[in-house]
Structure 1
Amino acid sequence: MTQTLADLQTPALVVDTEALEANLAAMADRWPGATLRPHVKAHKTTALAHRQAAHGHPGFTCATIREVEGMVAAGLGQDLLLANEVLDTRRLGTLVDRGARVTVAVDSPETVAAAAAGGVREVLVDVNVGLPRCGTAPTEAGALADAARARGLQVRGVMGYEGHLQALPDAAERARLTEGCMALLLAAHADVGGEIVSGGGTGTSAMNPWVTEMQAGSYALMDSVYAAAGVGYAQALHVLGTAVSVAPPRGEMPGYAVADVGLKALGMDHGNPTIPGCPGASGATGGGHVWFCSDEHVTFAPAADAAPVRVGDRVLVVPAHVDPTVALHERMHLVRGDEVLDTWAVDLRGW
C-alpha cells in the first residue's frame, strides 16, 4: 500500500530522494573514491552510508564509538576514522581484533596511551588549526607522532578541522582563512609523516585542495545554515510537521500558526529553523517567518503570498543544524513528491 506524507505521524524526518542522490553524486564528482571520507555523524544512518559507499567511497569518518560499532555491524568497516579523542578504546580494539580497520585521532600522550592500551593499532595526529576544540599545537605534532610510534602504533598522518570556517557567509574570506589553517596542518604533516592529510567539511569542500581526504558530512542532507553559506548542495532533509493551531489577525497582532515541530525535534544550536515554500511536496503548506520554538511547537507567521495555513495542514521545516536534528529521530522517510518510498532507521544514534 502506497504511503504519502499525509500518512506519516509528525514530527517526522523526510528526505527528498532526488535531492539526496544529486548531492551524493555532486560530492563524489568533486571528491571521488577514497579522497572523500564521508562523516556519518551528520546522518547517523547506515542505509545512507551504504548509498555513499555505492558512490565509490570506501572509508568513513565517525564521531562516536557507537557509530564505529554500527558501521562495522553494517559491513562498512573497511576503513573507519574516529575523528575524536577517546580515553577508553577497548571496544574499538575488539573491532580491530575481529578484522575491522579503525583509526583514532590522538592529540596528547594520554590519548596515545589509551589507543595502545585498548588495542587500536593506527592513529592520526589531530592538529589544532584554529578551532578551539581538540588538537595538539602544530609545533608539537612531530613529537606526539614519535611517541605514538614508540608505543607500537602506526601513524597514518594528520588531521585538522577548520570547523570555525565552515559556514562563513563570505566565500572568499572562507577560502583565504582555510588556506591559512591548512598551512598549519601541512607544516605539522611535514614533521609527522604518513600518507594522510585529513580535514575539511561541507563548507570548505570546494576550496580546500590541500587535504588528501575530505571529511564532509552535511552535504548529503543539508540545513539552512549551510544553504545560507552558498555551499552548492540542495536541501534534501525536512522535518515534517502538522499545523495544530491557527490564530487569525486580531487588531495589531498579525495572524500566526503553530506546528508540532519543537525543540525536541530540532537541533537549535545554530538558531531557529526556517519554513520555506517547499516546492515539490504537494502534501505540504509552505512559506512563513518563524517566531520561536518551544518544547513541542514552532510558532510562525505564514508568508503573505502563501496559501492560508489551516489546522491539519502539513508543514515542512528546515533545521538550522542537520546533525543534532537527525540524532533526535528514530527514522527518516525517503520521499518523492508526496509519495513515501522507503524508511531508514537512524541506527547510529545514541551512545
Structure 2
Amino acid sequence: MIENEPATIGDLPTPALVIDRPTFNANRLAMDALLPEDRLRPHVKAFKATALAQLLADDGHRGFCCATPREVEGMVAAGLGEDLLLANESLDVARLGALADRANITVAVDSNATLDAAIAGRLRSVLIDVNVGLPRCGIDSADAGRLADRARKAGLEVRGVMGYEGHLMMVRDPKEKADRVSASMEMLLQASADVGGDIVSGGGTGTCLTNTWCTEIQAGSYTLMDTDYCKLGLPFELALNVVATVISVNMQGWITADAGIKSMAMDHGNPRWEHGDVFFLSDEHITLSPTNINDWEVGDRVRLQPAHVDPTIAKHQQMWLVDGDSVVDRWAVDLRHW
C-alpha cells in the first residue's frame, strides 16, 4: 500500500485505469524470452508512462520507439534517452534538436520535406521510412536509396530503414500472416540494401511471432494488451482494465456505471465485461446488461476490458498498479499529447 493513497480497488476514484501487476510482469517475461535486449525496441505510445518504460529498460531494452515529439521529450526528461526513435514523420522536430546533447535521437523521414525538417532542426541521425503496404507514411522502396544519399550529403547519419506492416497486425490466419509479412519485409529488405546502415526496424505486437526479418521489433501493446490483441493467440495476457462504479440499477435489466467513451477508446469496438453484455456507451456512462440483475447494487465496482489499449490510456492522467485487490503503485501517464 502507498501511504496516503487508495489502499484497495474499492478506494479508487473512478473511472480508474488499473493494471494487474502479476499479469504485466508475466508479459514482460514472455517478451524477454522472445525478443531479448535490443531485439525489442518497445513502443512507448502503447503505455505512455515513463515509470513503465523504466522497468523495460531495467529488463535490458535500452532503445525505445516514440510516436510524438512530446513522448521523446518526456523520455529524455526521465533519463531514458540512450536511444530514442521518433518512428513518425514530423515537421516539428526542432524542439528535439535542442535535446541532442542530452540524448541520442533518431527520426524517421520519408521525403525531402521531412528530411529538410530534420536538417533544419539539427537532428543528427535518421531512419528511412519505407512503405511496406500500409497506406500511411513511407517512401517507395525504389526511392529509399536516393533519400539516404541526400541525408548523408547533408551530414546526417543514416542508421538504416524502418517499415511498419500495421495492416497485418490483426490477421489471424497464421499462414496468411506469414506470407503477407514476408512480402512486406521483402520490400523493406530491398530498400535496406540500397540505404545501408545496421537497423531494419518494424513489426509490432501483432507480428512479433512472425516477423523474423527485422533486426528490432517495435512492440508496445504486449505489456498491457487489449481484447483485440487477445484474439491472436499471443503469449501475453490482458493486464489492463478500466474500473467503474455502478451509479444506477434498473430492475428492468440494466445497470449504469461511470465510465463512457471519455475513458475508453471505441475505435476497435465495445469493451468486454465478464458478468454480462455491454449495451452501449455514452460520454460519461456505460450501460450494462448483467447475467443476473439481482447481483448488483449502486456502489458496486465493475471491471471493463478495453478493445484498444493505446488510445484508452491516452484518456487518463494516471494508472493504478494492483496485486489482487491491493493498490501497490500509481504511475503518471506522463507521455500524453504531442
Same fold (TM over 0.5): yes
- Deviation, 1:24, is 0.9
Instruction: Name the aligned partner's letter for residue 311 of structure 2.
Output: P
Q: Does 1:133 align with 2:136?
A: yes
- Deviation, 1:150, is 1.4
- Deviation, 1:228, is 1.5
Q: Say which of 68, 80, 87 aligns to 2:84.
A: 80
Query: Could you tell me which residue of structure 2 aligns to residue 93 of structure 1?
Result: 97
- Deviation, 1:170, is 2.2
Q: 1:303, 1:143 → 2: CA distance?
A: 61
Query: Could you tell me which residue of structure 2 aligns to residue 244 of structure 1?
Result: 247
- Deviation, 1:229, is 2.1
Q: 1:347, 1:23 → 2: CA distance?
A: 22
Question: Which is worse superposed, 102-111 or 263-272?
Answer: 263-272
- Give SS of 1:263's match: coil
Q: Say which of 269, 272, 286 aligns to 1:271.
A: 269
Q: Deviations over 1:112-155 (max 9, x none)?
A: 11101101010000001011110001111111111111111111
- Deviation, 1:350, is 2.0
Q: Does 1:40 align with 2:6?
A: no
TM-score, normalised to structure 2's length?
A: 0.96
- Deviation, 1:232, is 2.4
Long gaps (5+) in structure 2 = none
- Deviation, 1:301, is 1.1
Query: Could you tell me which residue of structure 2 aligns to residue 308 of structure 1?
Result: 295
- Give SS of 1:91's match: helix
Matches within 5 A, 1:153-232: 153-232=156-235
Instruction: Name the aligned partner's letter for residue 214 of structure 1.
Output: I
Contact 1:262 1:294 in 2 (8 A): yes
Q: Deviations over 1:72-123 (max 9, x none)?
A: 1101000000000011311110111x23100000000011111011010100
Q: Does 1:112 align with 2:99?
A: no
Q: 2:297, 2:233 → 1: CA distance?
A: 33
- Give SS of 2:319's match: strand
Matches within 5 A, 1:25-64: 25-64=29-68
Q: Does 1:340 align with 2:327?
A: yes
Q: Say which of 65, 68, 72 aligns to 1:68.
A: 72
Q: 1:331, 1:109 → 2: CA distance?
A: 39
- Give SS of 1:75's match: coil
Q: 1:128, 1:292 → 2: CA distance?
A: 37
Contact 1:171 1:229 in 2 (8 A): no
Long gaps (5+) in structure 1 = 250-254, 277-286
Contact 2:110 2:128 in 1 (8 A): yes
Q: 2:319, 2:175 → 1: CA distance?
A: 35
Query: Could you tell me which residue of structure 2 aligns to residue 282 of structure 1?
Result: none
- Deviation, 1:303, is 3.0
Query: Could you tell me which residue of structure 2 aligns to residue 152 of structure 1?
Result: 155
- Deviation, 1:258, is 1.3
Question: Which is worse superposed, 308-317 or 40-49?
Answer: 308-317
- Deviation, 1:307, is 7.5
Instruction: Name the aligned partner's letter for residue 150 of structure 1.
Output: K
Contact 2:69 2:92 in 1 (8 A): no
- Deviation, 1:308, is 2.0
Q: 1:153, 1:203 → 2: CA distance?
A: 32
Q: 2:38, 2:88 → 1: CA distance?
A: 20
Change (3 A) 1:22 1:300: same
Q: Deviations over 1:220-266 (max 9, x none)?
A: 011110011222211111001011112223xxxxx111111101001
TM-score, normalised to structure 1's length?
A: 0.93
Query: Could you tell me which residue of structure 2 aligns to residue 284 of structure 1?
Result: none
Q: Say which of 287, 290, 293 aligns to 1:299.
A: 287
Q: 1:49, 1:319 → 2: CA distance?
A: 21
Contact 1:113 1:151 in 2 (8 A): no
Q: 1:172, 1:10 → 2: CA distance?
A: 43
Q: Does 1:350 align with 2:300?
A: no
Contact 1:256 1:300 in 2 (8 A): yes
Contact 1:178 1:208 in 2 (8 A): yes
Q: 1:129, 1:151 → 2: CA distance?
A: 26
Instruction: Name the aligned partner's letter for residue 135 of structure 1.
Output: G
Q: 1:237, 1:303 → 2: CA distance?
A: 23
Q: 1:129, 1:300 → 2: CA distance?
A: 41
Give the aligned length.
334
- Give SS of 2:313's match: helix
- Deviation, 1:176, is 1.9
**CA RMSD of the aligned region, Å?**
1.3
Query: Could you tell me which residue of structure 2 aligns to residue 257 of structure 1?
Result: 255
- Give SS of 2:158's match: strand
Instruction: Name the aligned partner's letter for residue 341 of structure 1.
Output: V
- Give SS of 1:234's match: coil
Contact 2:134 2:164 in 1 (8 A): yes
